[in-house]
């Protein structure tokens, strides 16, 4: 290597360091890179979420049922529950109004109308899908009667009872459940990740829902060996969508150079649970990555933050219509953005 070339490299490094220092001092953060392309299997896509992420997981499952294998719904209500009425319908949809649960029959009518208009996939595509649903008996945010309606909606939509796993006897609060990390089981507090003991051992919810969706899987690893990659979400949806600048994806070593055959799981955080609020807790400590490492699975962690325009003060996914009337259809700005991310992961470079 020539002395001139060496000096040039040092100069570039110094310039990059200086630019980073200036950006840091001014509070400007460099945008993440584009989401990489992979060779993942488009027929092996699934989705799960907590709270608003669970409502969103239901919407994604229903809107794109022809390309989604199954869903994990942790403390979430039925499809299109808010009916475009916005936050005014939230109390009923979250089961907060005694003796007035959501009506899944009305949600089914809405889904049938959207399907007939070609705005979501045919409901017949749900019949082979597998749905895991969870409601903690101590949940004081999304009450059991709302989650009961979710189970009934999927049954009315044609999902066989044998394909639905409804776990509703664990004394858990409002949280995604892990075997060891987080709050005590009954907590209803940030970061909305808790640990529970079921039948004498820690309850691994990520494993429970992934196993229900995919069938027998290899046991999770104790220590992950893959990498978290940040990517620019505004390539898929601009700031008016309410989505954060950056999303994250966990890439196990088995999905590196040759990722053909890798599965894709979309994990959707709840309100007040994005990386801006809870740091890396949701995308690194909820157990998904441990299962991904041993089962050739990419885990996509899209992000949405609190915003005033659109009005979303707690950083929730849009299940009430704050992004517009198409929020629960394939044309919904957030749903279509997530689908485009999945398409990128399952596309040849």
Q: Catalytic amino acids?
A: 51, 139, 174
Nearest Cα neighbor of 298 from 244, 324, 338, 261 is: 261
- Strands 246-251 and 297-301, how do they pair? antiparallel
Strand order in the sheet with 45-50: 164-167, 130-134, 70-74, 45-50, 263-268, 297-301, 246-251, 227-232
Q: How far apart, in whole angstroms, are the C-alpha atoms of residue 153 and residue 267?
A: 22
Give Cβ neighbours of residue 65 (< 8 Å, ≥ 6 apart): 120, 121, 122, 123, 125, 126, 129
Q: What is the DSSP string of 86-109?
A: GGGGHHHHTT-STT----HHHHHH
DSSP 289: H
- Strands 246-251 and 263-268, how do they pair? unpaired
How far is the CA of 129 from the CAs of 157, 159, 267, in angstroms?
A: 11, 7, 17
Question: How many C-beta atoms surround the C-beta of residue 123 within 10 A?
Answer: 19
- The answer to whether the beta carbons of residues 338 and 285 sit under 8 Å apart is no
Q: Output the CA angle 50-149-189, nearest 5 degrees.
A: 30
The dihedral through the CA atoms of 75, 80, 83, 85 has a sign that is: positive
């Amino acid at each position: 290597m020539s002395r001139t070339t060496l000096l040039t490299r040092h100069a570039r490094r110094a310039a990059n360091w200086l630019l980073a220092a200036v950006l840091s001092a001014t509070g400007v953060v460099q945008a993440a890179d584009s989401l990489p392309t992979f060779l993942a299997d488009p027929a092996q896509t699934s989705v799960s979420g907590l709270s608003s992420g669970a409502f969103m997981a239901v919407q994604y499952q229903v809107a794109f049922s022809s390309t989604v294998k199954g869903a994990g719904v942790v403390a979430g209500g039925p499809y299109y529950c808010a009916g475009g009425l916005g936050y005014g319908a939230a109390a009923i949809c979250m089961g907060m109004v005694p003796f007035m649960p959501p009506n899944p029959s009305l949600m089914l009518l809405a889904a049938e109308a959207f399907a007939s208009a070609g705005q979501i996939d045919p409901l017949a595509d749900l019949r082979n899908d597998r749905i895991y649903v969870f409601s903690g008996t101590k949940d004081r945010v999304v009450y059991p009667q709302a989650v009961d309606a979710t189970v009934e909606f999927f049954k009315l939509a044609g999902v066989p009872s044998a394909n639905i796993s409804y776990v509703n006897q664990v004394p858990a609060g409002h949280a995604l459940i892990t075997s060891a990390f987080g709050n005590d089981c009954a907590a209803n507090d940030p970061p909305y990740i808790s640990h529970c003991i079921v039948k004498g051992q820690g309850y691994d919810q990520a494993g429970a829902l992934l196993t229900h969706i995919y069938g027998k899987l290899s046991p999770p690893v104790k220590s992950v060996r893959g990498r978290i990659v940040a990517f620019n979400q505004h390539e898929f949806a601009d700031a008016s969508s309410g989505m954060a600048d950056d999303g994250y994806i966990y890439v196990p070593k088995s999905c590196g150079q040759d990722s053909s055959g890798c599965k894709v799981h979309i994990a959707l955080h709840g309100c007040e649970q994005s990386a801006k609020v809870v740091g890396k807790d949701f995308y690194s400590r909820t157990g998904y990555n441990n299962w991904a490492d041993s089962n050739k699975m990419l885990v996509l962690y899209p992000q949405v933050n609190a915003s005033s325009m659109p009005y979303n003060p707690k950083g929730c996914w849009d299940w009430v219509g704050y992004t517009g009337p198409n929020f629960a259809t394939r044309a919904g700005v957030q749903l279509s953005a997530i689908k485009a991310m999945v398409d990128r992961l399952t596309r040849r470079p």
